[in-house]
Amino acid sequence: MRGPHNIIRLIRTGATLERTGAMKVVLDAFDAGPLLRITFRTLVWPFRWLGYQGDLSMPPAPRALTALGPAYIKFGQILSTRPDVVGDELAVQLRVLQDKLPPFSMREAKAALQHELGMSFDQLFSTFSEPVAAASLAQVHKAHLADTGEAVAVKILRPGIEKAFRKDIDAFYFAARVIEVLSPASRRLRPMDVITHFEGVVMGELDLRLESAAAAEFAANTETDSGFQVPKIRWHLSGRRVMTLDWAEGTNIGINDALDSAGHDRRALASRVLELFLNHALRDGYFHGDMHQGNLKVAANGDIIAYDFGIMGRIDEYTRRVYAEILFGFIRKDYNRVAEVHFEAGYVPADRDVDEFARALRAVGEPIFGMDASRISMARLLNYLFEVTERFGMETRTELILLQRTMVVVEGVARSLDPHINIWEVARPVVEDYIKKSIGPKALLADLAKTARVLARFGPQLPQLAEDALIRLNNPPPPPKPQRRIARLSWMALGGTLVGLGVWISNFL
């Protein structure tokens, strides 16, 4: 499906932004210059009539994104956590994309429940509310179990969401391919791999059985974390398109006035959000990959409650150590060590200059330290960091995409709670603790013990493996005879010709 027909889809994207008035809002938010504004408006304006009208009751940007589809909504959700990048006004407008989208009907919801769970609606629940939250892929209802009366949250996928999402992803793939062809310099960013990664992440959200399993694993990892809760999954009421879990009562972490009225300390909450994310990523290697305000509540006792586990991130032990060393180097202002870690991990090509890279990293890190967070322009900082990666030929690391994106989102949540938070001061004790446990004599002994356990599992097979290797070494296989190879190639060519001829004839029948 990734053919030129997607040109229409991309043109329609620009046309929708123009028709809804979102184009001007986006260009204003990103401080676009006159030349860029004129170029965009000139290219898009003639196709304005192709754009979707959207919901006229919504502000321009969310109106355009909701009209375009679920993948665009996901992008808007990320931007909603970055008022320092897109501005306070646009960030507030985009926040409705987190859990306040138009819901689908109660009739469709009840039909999906009965079809998925194989029982009549009245047998399952004594009460079932109108949607309490509606996001890009699913909506949530509050219900009470018929047998126990306990309050639960029932998450149901939107009808036809799989087809709609695949249509968006199809256009994204086409755009990525065009970018790679027209801009060879962009290939280091691996746009096709980025879209593939994005597709894999969101496709996991479209099977709620996987989300239920993710929630159970996350709950097991974090059960001893102070000030943090994960609702319990009700497995007998969950399936591919329906997930049921305990109801989480609390205040949305994105509503500052409500948090203040409830007596919560927003500065403490901001620090805890960052600490929790870093602990989950470094300690467990398994973290919530969608920690925006719409997926976090604050309980009456001050605990942070996480839900919506469709996007979870996993990173291996080696990558965690690299990530921790990079963070620790920035915290200590040891830019030479940060540069060395990038080279050791293969993130920067070996033919580049380490000292020059360290100087470039210093220019990124120094503006952060000793400065009030509210005075740091994250948009300008990210723009400079992008220039550095381009200059040194760094390729996009697909295994770090979700980690980096989540770090941006979590920092945005923390800054919305406490605009003056210093992320490096909060991160320091968490990273230092991980460094002590993972890099040093104790960590070396632990690694050796793991290696010994792996070898022990293969112990009975080692003699046979060694013997097979020696036999292959002393008796290499003979090279194929030229006649047979030629004959094989001839049959392959003949077969390919016949298949091609068949396809050509079928096109005319």
Separation CA 264–CA 487 (nearest Å): 79
Please identify every residue annotated as catalytic.
290
265 in Cβ contact with 304 (< 8 Å): no
Cα-based torsion angle of the residue sequence 204, 210, 212, 215 in order, rounded to the nearest 10 degrees: -70
Using the Cα atoms of residue 73, residue 78, residue 81 and residue 87 in order, give the sign of their dihedral: negative
The DSSP secondary structure of 433-498, one letter per residue, reads HHHHHHSSHHHHHHHHHHHHHHHHHTGGGHHHHHHHHHHHHHSPPPPPPHHHHHHHHHHHHHHHHH
Q: Identity (one letter) of the amino acid at 338?
A: V
User: Is residue 198 within 8 Å of 172, Cβ to Cβ?
Assistant: yes
Query: How far is Cα 272 from Cα 275, in angstroms, rounded to an integer?
Result: 5
Q: Give DSSP secondary structure letters for 262-300.
A: TT--HHHHHHHHHHHHHHIIIIISEEES--SGGGEEE-T
Cα 352 from Cα 331, distance rounded (Å): 24
**Six token digits for residue 337:** 């060590």
Question: To 5 degrees, how large is the angle CA 398–CA 399–CA 405?
Answer: 80
The Cα angle at residue 343 between residues 339 and 344, in degrees rounded to 5: 115
Residue among 344, 277, 353 at smallest CA distance from 315:
277
∠ CA(405), CA(406), CA(412), 5° rounding? 95
3-state secondary structure of 228: strand
Q: Determine contact, residues 161/70, Cβ cutoff 8 Å.
A: yes
| Burial 434-472, CB ≥16 within 10 A → b, else e | bbeebeeeeeeeeeeeeeeeeeeeeeeeeeeeeeeeeee
